[in-house]
Amino acid sequence: MSARNPGTTLDLEWISKVRVNTHAVLKRAQHIQGQKIPKKQWQAAWLLKAVTCIDLTTLAGDDTPSNVHRLCLKAIQPVRHDLLRAVDMHNKGVTTAAVCVYPSRVADAVKSLKAANSSLPVASVATGFPAGQTPLETRLQEVRLAVADGAAEIDIVINRTLAITGEWEALYDEIREFREACGDAHMKTILAIGELGTFTNVYKASLVAMMAGSDFIKTSTGKESVNATYPVAIVMVRAIRDYFLCTGHKVGFKPAGGIRTAQESLVWLSLIKEELGNDWLCPLLFRLGASSLLADIERQIYHHVTGQYAAYHELPMA
């Protein structure tokens, strides 16, 4: 993994000065969405890049060891071998970036990946996901247990109440504790942007999360009514850019929730390339949180190779 963000002391003066120009953000988002997307082999190459940045996720109440096992196999071989061979990518080690599961399924995922001789990291949501409304000690313990079971990455949720009411010191302290509980596991901090109210609040929460030592900031749990949107992403990545210019520490970005089509994944890659530059176009600094996105990307690559669209049953989960 990349060099970690050690965090900084909490700079309340910087946070208090934040003002986000909503009109400018919306205009920029519209521009990024309206851009032409690459075609043919260039599109296939970008789509495979998107695959390598996916945190392949299952967060269902009925998750079992067997469907986690299937998910792991799909993460290791995300695109059919014959399709990768057709675009000369069969020996380039194309996998997703990680597998993301609930804490109680971490051991299953670790076991499946180990059995398949894969070094793919397991990410676990924790800290009372998705609402973050359990007692602090319970949330910390959940992080520790997931790490003990072999999670290399922890996706934490912030206590939205603290962000909404502007209790930035309390939020900073809490995230610092989560970072400590993560140990060597990388920490992705979910802001649940759909519940933060304003772009200014999203920017402030992004800054606090980075100052507290987050390795990534992530838009959503996928369980809110508003998830990853392009305007919110612009606000978050500009906070990442400002933090980098101020500290020299690169923090990753993960949009999650509602990202389902290959076309959308291309817009996300374009947004990152334009706002943060090529350095961020890699799984060390950019992830897409998704469960159904991969199926659509594989269909598009099938179409590129064969000229036809596959039925979903022709591209099974594993």
Tell me the catalytic residues.
218, 254
* Environment class of 202 (CB within 10 Å of its CB; exposed 0-12, middle 13-18, buried 19+): buried
Phi-psi region of 97 (alpha: psi -120 to 50; beta: other; left: phi over 0): alpha
Residues 6 or more apart whose Cβ sits within 8 Å of residue 88: none
- Centre a 10 Å sphere on the Cβ of residue 133 and count the other Cβ atoms it contains: 11
CB 179 within 8 A of CB 160: no
Angle formed by the axes of helices 230-247 and 199-211, nearest 10°: 40
CB 82 within 8 A of CB 101: no
| Of residues 147, 111, 97, the one with CA closest to residue 126 | 147
| Gyration radius of the chain over CA positions | 19
CA geometry: angle 301, 307, 312, nearest 5 deg: 55
Number of H helices, E strands in the chain: 13, 8
CB 256 within 8 A of CB 222: yes
Pairing between β-strand 252-254 and β-strand 122-126 as defined by DSSP bridges: unpaired
In what helix (H) or strand (E) does residue 127 lie, and over which residues does it extend? Answer: none
Residues 6 or more apart whose Cβ sits within 8 Å of residue 272: 237, 253, 280, 281, 286
Instruction: Determine if the peptide bond prior to 65 is cis (ω within 30°).
Output: no
